[in-house]
Amino acid sequence: MKTLLYILYWPLNAFWLSLQGVAFWKVHCYGFLFVSNKGQFILGKDFVVNSHRFANIIGSGFSSSIMIGKNAKLVIGEDVGFSNSTICCREEITIGDHTIIGGNCKIWDTDFHPTSIEQRTIDIDSNAKNSPIHIGKYVFIGADSILMKGIAVGDFAVIGAGSVVRTNIPENEVWAGNPAVFVKKISK
């Protein structure tokens, strides 16, 4: 089924990604990958994207999408896996090599809207707080996790399914929960 998804969606993905300034030949996409690129998108080779309910049933039928705002920068390393998930980059997001992002994850470096009632009544779409996200190499992010603005995830870290990450996670550690808390150290 995945091979059929790749073949059916390849022309559409190649056309759409090239319109968005994305090196589509570096992307192996099973389903349609929606990208809105108004900033800078640096992509390593072999970015594997599941973007269809038949490509990864854990993704709850959602497709993958990536939004890069004006003057924002998204860097995705080599051999990264991404399943039915969403990235919203309004400042800077870096994802290291060999990272796996499970089904239906959200990675957002923005609050989307201002938290101040005064600012929301003036203009709900401006003055939102943004802060970079850095995800190290060989990180595993479990399904349905949300990574919030201003965090860093160290190399070889594991984030349990359904976690809400609002603070830095050191390398070689497992964190899980809402909010995500330390579970254990990982020995090499």
Mean pLDDT per 10-residue section of the chain, whose length is 188 residues: 73 84 82 90 90 66 87 96 93 98 94 78 75 98 97 98 98 98 92
User: Model pTM?
Assistant: 0.88
How confident is the model at residue 49, as a pLDDT? 86
Pick the CATH number of 2-185 from 2.160.10.10, 3.60.15.10, 3.40.50.300, 2.40.10.220: 2.160.10.10
How confident is the model at residue 15, as a pLDDT? 85
Residue at 163: amino acid letter: S
How confident is the model at residue 70, as a pLDDT? 93
How confident is the model at residue 55, as a pLDDT? 64
Distances (CA, A) of 156 to 1, 23, 71, 167, 168: 31, 27, 30, 16, 14
Q: Which residues are catalytic?
A: 113
Alpha carbons 150 and 148: distance in angstroms, whole number:
7
Helices and strands in the chain, H and E counts: 2, 19
3-state secondary structure of 101: strand
How confident is the model at residue 57, as a pLDDT? 62
